[in-house]
Amino acid sequence: MTKKNWNNFFQGEKNLKKFGEYVFDYSKPDQDVINLVSFLKENKVKTILDLGCGAGRNSKYLSEKGFRVMGIDISEVAIRKAKKDGGEAKYFLADMRRLPFPNDSFETIISIQTIFHGRLSDIRKTIKEIFRVSKNGGIIFLTLQPIKGNKFRLGKKLETNTYISSAGDDKGEIHHFFDKKEILKEFCDFKIIDLHLVKENNYWYLLMKKK
Protein backbone atom coordinates (compact mmCIF):
# COMPACT_ATOMS: atom_id res chain seq x y z
CA MET A 1 0.00 0.00 0.00
CA THR A 2 1.40 3.37 -0.97
CA LYS A 3 0.00 6.79 -0.16
CA LYS A 4 1.12 8.12 -3.52
CA ASN A 5 -0.88 5.54 -5.48
CA TRP A 6 -4.04 6.14 -3.50
CA ASN A 7 -3.70 9.91 -3.47
CA ASN A 8 -3.48 9.75 -7.27
CA PHE A 9 -6.48 7.42 -7.36
CA PHE A 10 -8.67 9.81 -5.35
CA GLN A 11 -7.46 12.93 -7.16
CA GLY A 12 -9.48 11.88 -10.19
CA GLU A 13 -13.00 13.22 -10.64
CA LYS A 14 -14.40 10.03 -12.21
CA ASN A 15 -16.86 8.12 -10.03
CA LEU A 16 -16.98 5.02 -12.21
CA LYS A 17 -13.85 2.87 -12.02
CA LYS A 18 -13.35 -0.03 -14.39
CA PHE A 19 -11.24 -2.98 -13.28
CA GLY A 20 -11.04 -5.42 -16.18
CA GLU A 21 -14.64 -6.17 -17.12
CA TYR A 22 -16.09 -5.00 -13.80
CA VAL A 23 -17.28 -1.41 -13.25
CA PHE A 24 -17.72 0.08 -9.78
CA ASP A 25 -19.49 3.35 -8.97
CA TYR A 26 -17.55 4.97 -6.15
CA SER A 27 -20.05 7.80 -5.79
CA LYS A 28 -22.58 5.45 -4.17
CA PRO A 29 -22.56 3.11 -1.17
CA ASP A 30 -21.75 -0.51 -1.88
CA GLN A 31 -24.87 -2.63 -2.37
CA ASP A 32 -23.60 -5.23 0.10
CA VAL A 33 -23.28 -2.50 2.74
CA ILE A 34 -26.85 -1.38 2.03
CA ASN A 35 -28.04 -4.97 2.39
CA LEU A 36 -26.08 -5.38 5.64
CA VAL A 37 -27.94 -2.61 7.52
CA SER A 38 -30.94 -4.71 8.57
CA PHE A 39 -28.62 -7.43 9.93
CA LEU A 40 -26.65 -4.83 11.94
CA LYS A 41 -29.83 -3.35 13.39
CA GLU A 42 -31.11 -6.81 14.32
CA ASN A 43 -27.85 -7.28 16.24
CA LYS A 44 -28.23 -3.86 17.94
CA VAL A 45 -24.99 -2.53 16.45
CA LYS A 46 -24.20 1.11 17.22
CA THR A 47 -20.49 1.58 16.40
CA ILE A 48 -18.83 0.84 13.06
CA LEU A 49 -15.26 1.18 11.78
CA ASP A 50 -14.82 1.50 8.01
CA LEU A 51 -11.32 0.36 7.02
CA GLY A 52 -10.20 1.95 3.76
CA CYS A 53 -13.14 4.35 3.78
CA GLY A 54 -11.94 6.27 0.73
CA ALA A 55 -13.96 9.44 0.21
CA GLY A 56 -16.60 8.20 2.64
CA ARG A 57 -19.30 6.68 0.47
CA ASN A 58 -20.09 3.76 2.82
CA SER A 59 -19.35 5.65 6.04
CA LYS A 60 -21.71 8.45 5.04
CA TYR A 61 -24.49 6.01 4.19
CA LEU A 62 -24.14 4.11 7.47
CA SER A 63 -24.08 7.31 9.52
CA GLU A 64 -27.31 8.36 7.79
CA LYS A 65 -28.81 5.09 8.98
CA GLY A 66 -28.12 6.01 12.59
CA PHE A 67 -24.79 4.29 13.29
CA ARG A 68 -21.78 5.98 14.89
CA VAL A 69 -19.15 5.54 12.21
CA MET A 70 -15.42 6.11 12.07
CA GLY A 71 -13.59 5.82 8.75
CA ILE A 72 -9.84 5.47 8.22
CA ASP A 73 -7.78 5.64 5.06
CA ILE A 74 -4.11 5.91 4.15
CA SER A 75 -4.80 8.60 1.54
CA GLU A 76 -4.75 12.25 2.63
CA VAL A 77 -6.75 13.16 -0.48
CA ALA A 78 -9.46 10.61 0.34
CA ILE A 79 -9.75 11.75 3.96
CA ARG A 80 -9.91 15.39 2.92
CA LYS A 81 -12.79 14.58 0.56
CA ALA A 82 -14.50 12.45 3.18
CA LYS A 83 -14.38 15.22 5.77
CA LYS A 84 -15.90 17.59 3.23
CA ASP A 85 -18.65 15.39 1.78
CA GLY A 86 -18.82 12.29 3.96
CA GLY A 87 -21.70 13.21 6.25
CA GLU A 88 -21.64 12.85 10.04
CA ALA A 89 -19.04 10.08 10.21
CA LYS A 90 -15.63 10.84 11.73
CA TYR A 91 -12.59 10.37 9.53
CA PHE A 92 -8.93 9.70 10.36
CA LEU A 93 -5.73 9.35 8.37
CA ALA A 94 -4.34 5.99 9.48
CA ASP A 95 -2.77 2.72 8.36
CA MET A 96 -5.05 -0.28 8.88
CA ARG A 97 -2.04 -2.34 9.97
CA ARG A 98 -1.63 0.00 12.98
CA LEU A 99 -5.05 1.24 14.03
CA PRO A 100 -5.16 4.22 16.43
CA PHE A 101 -7.95 2.77 18.58
CA PRO A 102 -8.06 0.90 21.92
CA ASN A 103 -8.88 -2.79 22.20
CA ASP A 104 -12.56 -3.76 21.92
CA SER A 105 -13.62 -0.42 20.42
CA PHE A 106 -16.14 -1.39 17.72
CA GLU A 107 -19.21 -3.58 17.40
CA THR A 108 -18.75 -3.83 13.64
CA ILE A 109 -15.85 -3.45 11.21
CA ILE A 110 -16.29 -3.28 7.45
CA SER A 111 -13.67 -3.17 4.71
CA ILE A 112 -14.71 -3.04 1.07
CA GLN A 113 -12.15 -3.86 -1.64
CA THR A 114 -9.27 -2.89 0.64
CA ILE A 115 -7.43 -5.33 2.88
CA PHE A 116 -6.06 -7.48 0.04
CA HIS A 117 -3.73 -4.62 -0.96
CA GLY A 118 -0.36 -5.84 0.29
CA ARG A 119 1.74 -8.90 0.90
CA LEU A 120 0.23 -11.65 3.02
CA SER A 121 2.37 -10.52 5.98
CA ASP A 122 0.73 -7.07 5.77
CA ILE A 123 -2.73 -8.57 5.52
CA ARG A 124 -2.06 -10.67 8.62
CA LYS A 125 -1.17 -7.51 10.54
CA THR A 126 -4.50 -6.01 9.49
CA ILE A 127 -6.39 -9.15 10.52
CA LYS A 128 -4.76 -8.97 13.97
CA GLU A 129 -5.78 -5.32 14.26
CA ILE A 130 -9.35 -6.13 13.24
CA PHE A 131 -9.46 -8.78 15.95
CA ARG A 132 -7.93 -6.43 18.53
CA VAL A 133 -10.25 -3.44 18.04
CA SER A 134 -13.49 -5.41 17.57
CA LYS A 135 -15.63 -6.29 20.58
CA ASN A 136 -16.31 -9.90 21.53
CA GLY A 137 -19.06 -11.10 19.24
CA GLY A 138 -18.39 -8.15 16.96
CA ILE A 139 -19.46 -8.37 13.32
CA ILE A 140 -16.86 -8.11 10.55
CA PHE A 141 -17.70 -7.74 6.87
CA LEU A 142 -14.94 -7.86 4.24
CA THR A 143 -14.56 -8.30 0.51
CA LEU A 144 -11.50 -10.10 -0.85
CA GLN A 145 -10.14 -10.75 -4.33
CA PRO A 146 -10.09 -14.19 -6.00
CA ILE A 147 -7.29 -14.92 -8.43
CA LYS A 148 -9.70 -16.18 -11.10
CA GLY A 149 -10.92 -13.33 -13.30
CA ASN A 150 -8.11 -10.95 -12.36
CA LYS A 151 -5.52 -11.66 -15.06
CA PHE A 152 -5.27 -7.94 -15.87
CA ARG A 153 -3.87 -7.38 -12.37
CA LEU A 154 -1.21 -10.04 -12.65
CA GLY A 155 1.95 -8.01 -13.21
CA LYS A 156 5.17 -8.73 -11.36
CA LYS A 157 4.83 -11.69 -8.98
CA LEU A 158 6.07 -10.97 -5.44
CA GLU A 159 5.06 -14.20 -3.71
CA THR A 160 2.37 -16.89 -3.94
CA ASN A 161 -0.87 -15.28 -5.21
CA THR A 162 0.58 -11.78 -4.73
CA TYR A 163 1.29 -9.44 -7.64
CA ILE A 164 1.94 -5.80 -8.49
CA SER A 165 -0.87 -4.65 -10.77
CA SER A 166 0.24 -3.89 -14.32
CA ALA A 167 -2.92 -2.09 -15.47
CA GLY A 168 -6.04 -0.27 -14.29
CA ASP A 169 -6.61 2.69 -12.00
CA ASP A 170 -4.62 0.99 -9.24
CA LYS A 171 -1.65 0.21 -11.47
CA GLY A 172 1.49 -0.35 -9.38
CA GLU A 173 -0.48 -1.42 -6.31
CA ILE A 174 0.07 -4.80 -4.64
CA HIS A 175 -2.80 -7.30 -4.69
CA HIS A 176 -3.08 -10.60 -2.85
CA PHE A 177 -5.61 -13.06 -4.25
CA PHE A 178 -7.40 -15.56 -2.00
CA ASP A 179 -8.89 -18.97 -2.49
CA LYS A 180 -11.46 -20.37 -0.07
CA LYS A 181 -8.96 -22.57 1.75
CA GLU A 182 -6.68 -19.63 2.51
CA ILE A 183 -9.58 -17.49 3.74
CA LEU A 184 -10.60 -20.20 6.20
CA LYS A 185 -6.99 -20.48 7.40
CA GLU A 186 -6.22 -16.76 7.79
CA PHE A 187 -9.53 -15.94 9.50
CA CYS A 188 -9.61 -19.00 11.78
CA ASP A 189 -9.97 -16.83 14.91
CA PHE A 190 -13.38 -15.67 13.70
CA LYS A 191 -16.70 -17.49 13.33
CA ILE A 192 -17.64 -17.33 9.66
CA ILE A 193 -21.32 -16.61 9.05
CA ASP A 194 -21.29 -16.33 5.26
CA LEU A 195 -18.56 -16.89 2.69
CA HIS A 196 -19.35 -16.96 -1.00
CA LEU A 197 -18.09 -15.69 -4.34
CA VAL A 198 -20.05 -12.79 -5.80
CA LYS A 199 -19.75 -13.80 -9.44
CA GLU A 200 -21.26 -10.69 -11.02
CA ASN A 201 -18.56 -8.47 -9.46
CA ASN A 202 -15.86 -11.12 -8.90
CA TYR A 203 -15.06 -10.86 -5.20
CA TRP A 204 -15.29 -12.95 -2.05
CA TYR A 205 -18.06 -11.92 0.37
CA LEU A 206 -16.96 -12.64 3.94
CA LEU A 207 -19.23 -12.05 6.95
CA MET A 208 -17.90 -13.11 10.37
CA LYS A 209 -18.14 -12.63 14.11
CA LYS A 210 -15.28 -12.37 16.56
CA LYS A 211 -15.24 -15.48 18.75
Q: What is the pLDDT of residues 113-165, one digit of tens each?
A: 999 999 999 999 999 999 999 999 999 999 999 988 676 667 889 999 999 98
Residue percentage of the chain with pLDDT more than 70:
84
User: DSSP state, 38?
Assistant: H
* Burial tier of 197 (Cβ tally within 10 Å: 0-12, 13-18, 19+): middle
Residues 6+ apart with CB under 8 A from 163: 153, 154, 155, 156, 157, 174, 175, 177
What is the side-by-side strand order in the sheet with 174-176?
156-159, 162-164, 174-176
* CA–CA separation, 192 and 45 (whole Å): 18
Amino acid at 112: I
CATH number for the domain formed by residue range(s) 30-210: 3.40.50.150
Whether the predicted pLDDT of 8 surpasses 80? no
What is the SS3 assignment for 47-60? EEEEECCCCCHHHH
pLDDT tens digits, one per residue of 20-77: 555 566 778 999 999 999 999 999 999 999 999 999 999 999 999 999 999 999 999 9
pLDDT tens digits, one per residue of 66-102: 999 999 999 999 999 999 988 899 999 999 999 999 9
